[in-house]
Each structure stands twice: as structure tokens, then as C-alpha cells.
Amino acid sequence: PNAGGHGDLDAIIIGAGIAGMYQLYRLRELGLRVRVYEAGTDVGGTWYWNRYPGARFDSESWSYGYSFSKELLQEWEWPEHFSAQPDTLRYLNYVADKFDLRRDMRFGHRVTAAHFDTATSRWTITLDNGEQDSAHLLVTALGPLSAYTLPNIPGRDSFQGTACHTARWPREGLDLKGKRVGIIGTGATAIQTIQTIAKEVGHLTVFQRTPNWAAPLHNRKITEEEQKAIKASYDEIFERCRQTSTCFIHNTDPRKALEVSAEEREEFWEKLYAEPGFGIWVGNFQDVLVDPEANALASEFMAKKIRQRVRDPKVAEKLIPRNHGFGTRRLPLESGYFEVYNQDNVRLVDILETPIERITPEGIRTSAEDFAFDVLIYATGFDGVTGPYDRIDIRGPGGRRLKDDWTGTPRTFLGMLAEGFPNMLMVLGPHTARGNIPRNIEEIVDWLTGLIRHMRDHGLTRVEARPEAVEDWGRHVEKAASGLLFSQVNSWQTGVNRNVEGRDVLRILGYYGGAVQYRRKAGAVAAQGYREFLFG
């Protein structure tokens, strides 16, 4: 059976998040026949699924929205400097309405398989209801953080209360008022959840395996004057994002922490700590994420802040990371997170000290005691970057399985094409620059659109990266990651998720040469006529 029934498609896009929505817009401009398949019941991707209390940007709202339409930029008003999930979802719905995107979207369909047919150079996808559809091009806009993972703790299904992963928070919300709540995890998601629900719940128990460094977000409402100023300066804002290696407005400080005096260092860090956003992470001294000595000093500064903010010194020490330095994992931003542990109704349980033995019908049993809960929240994260690909049975020519190819480190060209998988174009696959995600997305989508335009103009129906180009890119990706403290630490960014079999080994899943260099490299490939590709 054919799901669409509208004749030959040029392209199928999987995912109606920020990436899929924009790719559809661009391919329509080329006059292509496109269909988008989305598992959710509406647009929004990450912002559709992650409805947990306190979900919001850590990027400045006005640097995060789409930049492609000046009209849209002038029409839309972000209420806060760091937008909350409901407003972000409202924004994405506004975009979908404005550009009439839903017309080519099929919702409530999870793509379970995608197979390439060599004879016709077409991809056939299969949906969870068994229906199929096919097109020449397959664009995977799956999101790097869409495959959520539950903790692999014995007895997980025996819990009698309400259990919920943060990425599957119910639309209608969960009533936590006065309830006994347990939460597993202390990543960026958990931190936002914990600081938001702590005041409302009866009692909150936080099960922490690895503490994380976190810095203040300093969110506030956007005033009317600010709104005007923002609208008048979008060109400069996006130009600034283009000049930084992470596409945030914050740029690395050219100084080294070890070159300046202790007073100067302290003063700079105090200033960054008092400023909104990721400045303290990606606008820090240039050696902080590279040089272990500089990193240790920055970590000490952050530890001091935790000790100042948490009343009980024993709890404060537990909240200070010991096994990874400041900024070597994605830095969560917080609003009163550490002070939560000064509340009488909140308790921190260090599960390295007293490991969780099992989930029981009543709650959680650690090696030391039994806990009873009404609600159990899993803020246990995602099988990052490759997880969403692993969940789809993707097969190239000769039945070659992407999942097998990607058991180790993926082999890609520019992170946009996987070696051996013709006509499959990835938006934010492994080995692309990642930072302020919509900025990365727009650049990749524009680049892919250029490639597709080239194929259309030359009557080409098959594209694949040359093996030597893949080889070169792989070496470059590896070189860019070497020496970074970041790439030596377990996290979703390095592809480690101990809840997923086989995913306990560090991999390089990003391009760490920075967005500027990434853009230059990708730009040169296009400018020189796509010589790194084999076309058919």
C-alpha cells in the first residue's frame, strides 16, 4: 500500500522538527514534490516532545529562531530572553501556519524502515502501520536527541505509581502538587525539572549518579524597548552567530586563563557568572576547554560557587563533579537549582554511594533504604546522535545496514552523507558542527538544498560521497577532536549511554573544528562543483 497516493515523490523527509520544517520549505521552493513523515501528532520535534516542567532554551531566544524570513523575524515576538517550551512550540506552530507546511506532512507515523533500491535509485520507507512510500531522496531530519532512553534498572515495570520520561511528558501535564516525587538523573533536563517542581511537590528525592557543573541562566522577560531593539538588529545578531565557532552570540575570549593574574581571572569569571546564557561556557578563556590546568582553575571557581549556594557542606560536596572538568559536558544552565537543596522537602541521594538496586512497586530500593513515591520521573536522557538512526532499519545497496556500519564511529562526508548510502541526506547527523542548533540546521539545509538543486539542474538522480572524501573527512574530524577535554568524557555528545547495549564506548560524534571552519569546508565543496561526489 502507498501511504500518500499522490504519485512520484522527489523527496521524503523524516521528522517535522526545526530541521524537517525548514527542509520542506526549501525543497518546495525548488519545485520538488516532498512529503514529511513525523511520529508526533504535530510539528515541533524536540519542542513537541519535551513538555516537562521548566523546559526552556539555554540559547538567547532571538538568536535561536529561524533567520530565513525577514517577515517572520519582524512578526514574531519572543516573550523572554530564554524562551519556555510552550512559547517555542507556539512559535513553531506559527511558522508551520505561515508557510502552510502541514499540507505536505503526515503526522502520527513513525518510519520503521528505509531501503534503497539500486535499480531505480529510490528509497522506500515503511511506516509503523505497514504502509510504504518512496522517493529518490531521503532526508533524515531525526534530531540528535530524539531517541530517549529509560534506565536499565531491574523491576522498572513493577512500579505502581505514575512513571514518566521527561521526553514523554503528558500533554495535559502531571499533577505533582503535594506528591512524593522521585527523579533519576541530574543532566540539563533534570536540572530544569528539579528547580521548577521543587516548590510544588510534597517531597522530592533526587537520585544522582554523576553531578554536573551548572551556571546561572539569568532569564528575564523581554521589555518593549528591547523587543524593538532586537527586531532592528537581527542582521547583526545572525552575523555575530556566523562568526563564532558554536553559532551562539558568545565568542571565546582570546586570552588564556594561565596568562592573566589570579585577580583578573577571578574578576572575569565573576562577570561571566553574572551574565545570561552560555558565555561562561563558550565565551570563556580560550584554554579552559583544552588545557587541564586552566580547566582545573575554572572548575575550582565553579565549585566555590556551589559551596556558597548550598547550605549543608556535605550536600554541596556531593553536588561538585569530581570526574569531569567544568564545561567538558554540555553545560546545563540553571535558575536557583543549587538552592533547591536548601529546601526541607528536597533530598539528594548519591547513588554512587548507595546504588539503586531495583525499582519496586512502591518506589526505589537503594543499597541503604526503601523509598516510596507517587510519581517517578526519568530524566535519563537520550541515545544521542546515532540513536535515532539505529531505531530505523536503514539499508543501502546490497542490503547493507547503517546500524552495522555505525557500530563504531560513523563514516560520513561532512556529516551530511553516510558512506555507502546514496541519496540519503542527513541534517545534523554525526560529524557536523553543533552548537546553537537552528543556526547549524539552517546552514546544513541550505547546503543540501544547493546539492539537490545541482542534481536537478544536471538531471542527476543518484549522489554518493567518494570513499576518499569520506576518508579525508574522517581524518579531519578526528584531528579536530583530538586534545579537547570534551572528547574524553562520557556523555551523549561522545555517544555514551549505559542504558543502551554496546554504547559504553567513547566515539567522536561531532565536528569540533567549529562552525566557521565547517562552513568554509562545505562551502568550498559546493563552489568547486561537488567534486567529492559520485553522481548518477
Which residues contact ligand NA7 by CB under 6 A? 145, 151-153, 184-190, 209-210, 330, 379-382, 492, 499
Give 380 or 423: the residue with its C-beta nearer to ligand NA7.
380
| CB closer to ligand NA7, 61 vs 189 | 189
Considering the complex, state which of residue 101 and residue 351 has its C-beta at the smaller distance from ligand NA7.
351
> Which of residues 134 and 380 has its CB atom nearest to ligand NA7 in the complex?
380
Residue with smaller CB distance to ligand NA7, 196 or 380:
380
- CB of residue 414 to ligand NA7, shortest distance in Å: 22
Q: What is the dihedral of CA 532, 248, 323, 489, to 10 degrees?
A: -10
CA dist 301 and 215 (Å) reads: 11
Least Å from the CB of residue 153 to ligand NA7: 6
Do 38 and 105 meet the contact criterion of CB atoms below 8 Å apart? yes
Parallel, antiparallel, or unpaired for β 393-395 and 111-117? Answer: parallel
> Which residue number has the CB closest to ligand NA7?
187
Nearer to ligand NA7, 27 or 444 (CB): 444
Nearest distance from C-beta of residue 181 to ligand NA7, angstroms: 16
Shortest gap between Cβ of 33 and ligand NA7 (angstroms)? 34
Quickly tell me which residue has 547527523 as its cell.
429
The CA distance from 261 to 264, in Å, is 5
Identify which of residues 421 and 492 has a Cβ nearer to ligand NA7 in the complex. Answer: 492
159, 31 Cβ separation under 8 angstroms: no
CA 150 – CA 34 distance, rounded (Å) = 34
The alpha carbon dihedral of 239, 243, 249, 251 has a sign of negative
Q: Which residues pair with 216 in a beta bridge?
A: 334
In the bound complex, what is the minimum distance in angstroms from residue 200's beta carbon to ligand NA7? 20
**Contact criterion met (CB below 8 Å) for 208 and 364:** no
Q: Least distance (Å) from ligand NA7 to the CB of residue 192?
A: 8
Among residues 123 and 169, whose Cβ is nearest to ligand NA7? 169
> Which amino acid does the sequence have at 401?
R
Complex with ligand NA7: residue 149 or 284, whichever CB lies closer = 149
Is the C-alpha dihedral spanning 304, 307, 313, 314 positive or negative? negative
User: What is the SS3 assignment for 5?
Assistant: coil
Residue 52 Cβ, how far from ligand NA7 at the closest point, in Å?
9
Burial (Cβ within 10 Å: 0-12, 13-18, ≥19) of residue 17: buried
Longest Cα–Cα distance in the chain: 70
Residue 60 or 532 having the CB closest to ligand NA7: 60
Q: Confirm if 147 and 134 have CB atoms less than 8 A apart.
A: no
Min separation Cβ 87 and ligand NA7, Å: 17
CA quadruple 73, 78, 83, 85: dihedral sign: negative
User: In whole angstroms, how close is the CB of 269 to ligand NA7 at the nearest point?
Assistant: 22
CB of 432 to ligand NA7, least distance (A): 15
Residue closer to ligand NA7 by CB (options 240, 330) is 330
CB-based contact 99:27 (threshold 8 Å) = no
The distance of closest approach from Cβ of residue 288 to ligand NA7 in the complex, given in angstroms and rounded to an integer, is: 19
Taking the complex as a whole, the smallest distance from the CB of residue 492 to ligand NA7 amounts, in Å, to 5
105 vs 184 by CB, closer to ligand NA7: 184
Q: To the nearest whole angstrom, how small is the minimum distance from the Cβ of residue 151 to ligand NA7?
A: 3
Nearest Cα to 40, choosing from 32, 52, 29, 48? 48
β partners of residue 36: 13, 105
Beta-carbon neighbour count of residue 344 at 10 Å? 6
User: Which residue's CB is nearer to ligand NA7, number 69 or number 210?
Assistant: 210
**For every residue of 321-379, which 3-state class applies, written as one string?**
CCCCCCCCCCCCEECCHHHHCCCCCEEEEECCCCCEEEECCCEEEECCCEEECCEEEEC
Could you give the CA distance from residue 185 to residue 191 in angstroms, rounded to a whole number?
9
Helix (H) or strand (E) holding 479: helix 467-481
Residue with smaller CB distance to ligand NA7, 20 or 54 = 54
The residue type found at 292 is P
Determine contact, residues 12/123, Cβ cutoff 8 Å.
yes
User: CA 240, 189, 498: angle at the middle one, nearest 5?
Assistant: 110
Contact predicate 287/257, CB 8 Å: yes
Report, in Å, the least distance between residue 26 CB and ligand NA7: 25
